[in-house]
Amino acid sequence: MDEIAKIIIGDQTYSYPVIEGTEREKAIDIRRLRSDTGYITYDDGFGNTGSCISDITFIDGETGILRYRGIPIEELAEHADFLSVAHLVIYGELPDRDGYYEWIKNIRQRAPLHTGLMKMFESYPPNAHPMAVLSSMLNSMGCYYPQMTSNNREHDLEHFEDAAALLISKVRTIAALTYRSEMGMPFVYPRTDLRYTENFLHMMFSQPYNRYEPTEAVVDALDLFLVLHADHEQNCSTSTVRMVASGGANLFASVSAGVGALWGPLHGGANTAVVRMLESIHERGDDGSRYIEAAKRGEERLMGFGHRVYKNYDPRAKILGNAVRRVLRELDQNDPLLNIAQRLEEAALSDDYFISRKLYPNVDFYSGLLLKAIGIPVEMFTVMFAIGRMPGWIANWKEVAAAEKGRIYRPRQIYNGPVKRTMLKS
Ligand code: CMC
């Protein structure tokens, strides 16, 4: 028999169906609640609210499982590159051999930017935050593709494949050129013979007189970083993308809003905050224990720890922790911040404050150290997260735009302001 949930309000009982996902997670379907009862639910921060039914990513936060389109992240991290994973996330399948070459070709061809867009970099001040630049450049880019930004769902969906390849390719070009523009360095054009991550590093670091040639270890580490960030179900930025998409806005406007949401230190900005935290601990000569005590008193936050969904070790943090150690070894580097991070992790994992609250390292705890090891400047860390997350945003936009009976996202609220009824004095 199908499961039913009963809600009792006063002397009335209301029944609601229980829906079950393919991984057996359950939800009470309360779509009729307000019309039946006049009541709404209140769930600050949406910790208990399912905003959609999705086919893209599954997380079991209690046991630390993450799968894209049903495939465990550990397998993808080991056997697939970022562009295959992007294809998987967006289209639901890893590409076959021919499909892979076609996909890569599409992405390579789309790397250059329109000269009008290139000129826009000149209008930002040199200290503009790269996330602000990225968000506005992505939205501006849409102006050059009116056929993909009509805000008519059917029409925008006809051009979806083209728009997806464009965004995956050009987000990387915009990111690299933002860095060069802020450093006052001449732009380096993308090449068609380089791998996705290699091309990015080339645009970031090559000089007209000296081509930057990263080691295999660096290219692979960056690729792994992107694979691990490709999607993460209904996080703050992806929910933002879906929210904007639900109003009928085009893909470019939606991902531009996603970048804004990602920027915050509690979300994607945490990778920058972790490295800043480790640097300040190092400068103060603390071995981490003073910082942990301050976090327990509520004076500091242990950045890179805790997660709304994971109440166990984030599987991405495990993979990244190992990758940082491997890359530092391969590059023959020694980063004192890694030692501090390891000490913080050990201390936190054995401290009752963190254990009782189920606070474990999340993806951002080691990702900043990995990016630092491969030479990415700290101010670009959250932009790197955005490049990685682009496939997830695109796939989620499509799910909303292509839904047959999609409704605009429009939560309700409990009003707690004044009750004056009139502006006139009696
Ligand atoms: N350091 C110290 N205490 C913490 C931390 C932390 N990093 N995270 C949560 N707590 C405490 C919090 O003070 C609260 O304690 P109490 O019950 O005594 O009031 C309890 O744990 C529950 O915390 P919460 O703020 O209600 O948890 P949340 O689910 O609303 O927030 C979070 C999740 C990720 C925003 C939070 O853990 C945090 O701020 N972490 C640090 C920032 C960070 O690493 N963010 C990256 C998240 S993963 C990547 C991404 O999705 O972007």
Is 163 inside a domain boundary? yes
pLDDT at 69: 98
Q: Would you state the pLDDT for residue 208?
A: 84
Atom 10 in ligand 1: residue holding the nearest Cα: 306
Rounded CA-CA distance 83/409 in Å is 31
Question: CB–CB of 395/231 below 8 Å?
Answer: yes
Q: Considering the domain boundaries, does residue 147 fall inside one?
A: yes
Residues 223 and 85 occupy one common structural domain: yes
- pLDDT per residue, tens digit, the chain (426 aa), is 689 999 999 999 999 999 999 999 999 999 999 999 999 999 999 999 999 999 999 999 999 999 999 999 999 999 999 999 999 999 999 999 999 999 999 999 999 999 999 999 999 998 999 999 999 999 999 999 999 999 999 999 999 999 999 999 999 999 999 999 999 999 999 999 999 999 999 999 999 889 999 999 999 999 999 999 999 999 999 999 999 999 999 999 999 999 999 999 999 999 999 999 999 999 999 888 999 999 999 999 999 999 999 999 899 999 999 999 999 999 888 899 999 999 999 999 999 999 999 999 999 999 999 999 999 999 999 999 999 999 999 999 999 999 998 899 999 999 999 999 888 876
Residue nearest to atom 24 of ligand 1 (CA): 308
pTM: 0.94
- Specify the pLDDT at position 332: 87
Residue 364 is a catalytic residue: yes
8 A C-beta contact, residue 275 and residue 337: yes
CATH number, residue 306: 1.10.230.10
- CATH number of the domain where residue 235 is located: 1.10.580.10
Q: How many CB atoms lie within 10 A of CB 33?
A: 17
Does 253 fall in a domain? yes
Mark whether 28 and 84 lie in a shared domain.
Answer: no
**259 and 293 share one domain:** no
Residue 373: its pLDDT value, please? 92
Note whether 249 and 131 are same-domain residues: yes
Q: What are the residues facing 12 on neighbouring strands?
A: 9
207-216 long-range CB contacts below 8 Å, 24 or more apart?
214/374, 215/330, 215/331
Task: Report the alpha-carbon distance of residue 66 to residue 315 in Å, rounded.
Answer: 7
Domain span including residue 12: 4-50
Residues 159 and 211 in one domain: yes
Q: How far is the CA of 69 from the centre of ligand 1 (A)?
A: 27
| Domain final residue pick, 226, 250, 266 | 266
Residues 127, 101 within the same domain: yes
- Number of Cβ atoms within 10 Å of the Cβ of 65: 16
Model pLDDT, residue 357: 95
Count each helix (H run) and each strand (E run) in the chain, helices first: 19, 6
Q: Beta partners for 68?
A: 57, 71
Q: What per-residue confidence (pLDDT) applies to 1?
A: 63
Asked whether residue 274 falls in the same domain as residue 301, the answer is yes
Q: Is 88 in the same domain as 178?
A: yes
Q: What are phi and psi of 27, to 5 degrees?
A: -145, 145
pLDDT at 145: 97
Q: Which residues pair with 60 in a beta bridge?
A: 65
The last residue of a domain, from among 250, 266, 282:
266
**CA-CA distance, 13 to 271, in Å (whole number)?**
48
- In a shared domain, residues 90 and 207: yes
Atom number, ligand 1, closest to the C-alpha of residue 235: 51
Burial code (b: 16+ CB inside 10 Å, e: under 16) for 169-178 equals bbbbbbbbbb
Residue 298: what residue type? Answer: G
Per the structure, the count of domains in the chain is 3
State which of 308, 363, 381 you would mutate to test the pocket of ligand 1, scoring each by most atoms of that ligand within 8 A of its C-beta: 308
Can 81 be counted among the known catalytic residues? no
Looking at 81, 232, 307, 314, which residue is catalytic? 307
Report yes or no on 395 lying in a domain.
no
Strand order across the 26-28 sheet: 4-9, 12-20, 26-28
CATH number at residue 34: 2.20.28
Cβ < 6 A, ligand 1 pocket: 45, 235, 266-268, 270, 295, 301-308, 357, 359, 362-364
Nearest CA to ligand 1 atom 37: 306
Please report, for residues 59, 224, 322, the alpha-carbon distance to residue 73 in angstroms, rounded to integers and kept in the order given.
10, 11, 15
Ligand 1 pocket test, candidate residues 356, 362, 367, 383, most atoms within 8 A of CB:
362
* CA separation for the pair 196, 182 (Å, rounded): 22
The residue among 217, 233, 266 that closes a domain is: 266
Looking at ligand 1, which residue's alpha carbon is closest to its atom 8? 306
Kindly state whether residue 99 falls inside one of the protein's structural domains: yes
| In a shared domain, residues 228 and 341 | no
305: β partners: 361
In order, the DSSP letters of 376-411 are --GGGHHHHHHHHHHHHHHHHHHHHHT-TT------
Any idea what DSSP says for residue 55? S
Confidence at residue 2, expressed as pLDDT on a 0 to 100 scale: 85
Query: Distance, CA 381 to ligand 1 centroid (Å)?
Result: 20
- Based on the fold, state whether residues 246 and 339 are members of the same structural domain: no
Residues 242 and 261 in one domain: yes
Distance 306 CA to ligand 1 centre (A): 5
- Specify the residue with its C-alpha closest to ligand 1, atom 21: 357
Atom 34 of ligand 1, nearest CA residue: 307
Per-residue model confidence (pLDDT) at position 176: 97
Mutate to test the pocket of ligand 1, among 357, 369, 382, 393 (most ligand atoms within 8 A of CB): 357
Instruction: Please tell me the predicted confidence (pLDDT) of residue 165.
Output: 98
Cα 298 to Cα 51, 312, 313: the distances in Å are 31, 22, 22
